[in-house]
Amino acid sequence: MKLKDSLLELLGRNPLKPAPADISPPAQVIHKLQREDKSRITQLRAELEHKAIHDAPQKWRRRRWAVLIVVNLLFVLSYWLDIQMLEGALTASRFVGFHMADLNSALQVMLAFKEVVINLLIGIVTVALMWWLLGGRTFCSWVCPYHLLAEWAEILHLKLADKKLVKDHPFDRRTRTAFWLVFALLALVTGYTVFETISPVGILSRALIYGPGVALAWVVTLLLFEIFYSRRAWCRYACPIGLTYGLVGATSPLVVTYKLDKCFHEGECRKVCLVPHVLDTVIKGRAKDVQVEIGADCTRCGRCVDACPTHSLTFKFKGIGKHL
C-alpha cells in the first residue's frame, strides 16, 4: 500500500476500489485464476465448516493480553513496592532512569504551555523510536489498558448482538481526526490539557497505580456505550492517541502482510478486526499486488492472523523477509 493512501485511510478516508490499471500483472493473473477455479468454492466451504466446529486459535491474542497486563502491572508494582523500575504512569514515566512520554500527552503539554522541556523531548524521542520500530498503533493493542477492557466489552456486545438484543451503530471514521484537531486546539487556546481529563488511558493507568477515583465513572460510561450501542466506539471513532501513534508508525518495519495467492476471501479476518477497513484488500478482486502491506491504522493485534484459516496474513519485518 502506498504511504499516501495509508495515511489518508488513517485520517478517515474510506479505502478506494482499485482501477484495473492499478493492479499489478502478477496479481491480475491470480485474480483471474481465482475467478475461474471452481474448486476454490469447495475449499472455501470446507474451511468454513472446519471453523464452525473448531474455534480459531488465539495465539496472538493470548500473547498480547499477557504483555499488556504485565506492562501495566510493572507500573503498579514499581509504585507499591517502591523499586523505582517503572515510575509514573502511561502518560509520562521513567524506565530505569530513561524518560518516556506518551506522544499525544506530550503534544498536549507542549501546545498548552507553549514550550518544550528537555526531559519531555527525551521522552518523546525514546517512545517515538520504540513505537516506530513496532508499528505506531501497536501501543493501542499491546499496552493500552482501555483497549483490554474494550475488547472484553466487545465480546459481550457480540454475544448480545447474536441474540438480537443490541445492534451496532457505526460512526464516520473522520470524527477521530476532528477530535484530534479539537483537543489540540483546546490545549493551545486554553493552556490546559483538556483531553487528559477525559482520556480513559490516563484515567485507568492512574487508577491502577494510585487508586480509583470518580473519573472511573467516565470509563464505565464509555464501556456501556460500546456494549449496548456502538462496538469499540472510542478506539474507532474518537481516540486521538491511536491517530498519533498511527502517524508515527506509518513507515514501521514491522507490518502485517497479506498474501493474495493463499486467500479464499472468506472474510473471517475482517469479522474480528477492530479496524476492518484496513483489510479491504482481502476482498475478492481488490488486492493490487501479490503481497500487500496492511496500512497505518492497523493495531498489530494479530487477531486477523489468528483468524485466517489459510495463513494469508502474517507479521513480517520489512527488509528482512522474516515472517512471525
Position 264 scores a pLDDT of 85
Mean model confidence pLDDT for the chain: 91
**pLDDT tens, position by position, 90-149:** 888 888 777 888 999 999 999 999 888 787 888 888 899 989 998 879 999 999 999 999
Can you state the percent helix, strand and coil of the chain, rounding each to 5? 60, 10, 30
Between the CA atoms of 258, 170, 251 and 123, what dihedral angle is there, to the nearest 10 degrees? -140
Helix H or strand E segment including 216: helix 216-228
Position 323 scores a pLDDT of 62
Strand 291-293 to 92-95 pairing: unpaired
**What gap in Å lies between CA 63 and CA 302, rounded to an integer?**
9
pTM: 0.91
Angle between helices 240-248 and 174-190 (to 10 degrees): 100
Percent of the chain surpassing pLDDT 70: 97
Backbone torsions φ then ψ of 157, nearest 5 degrees? -60, -45
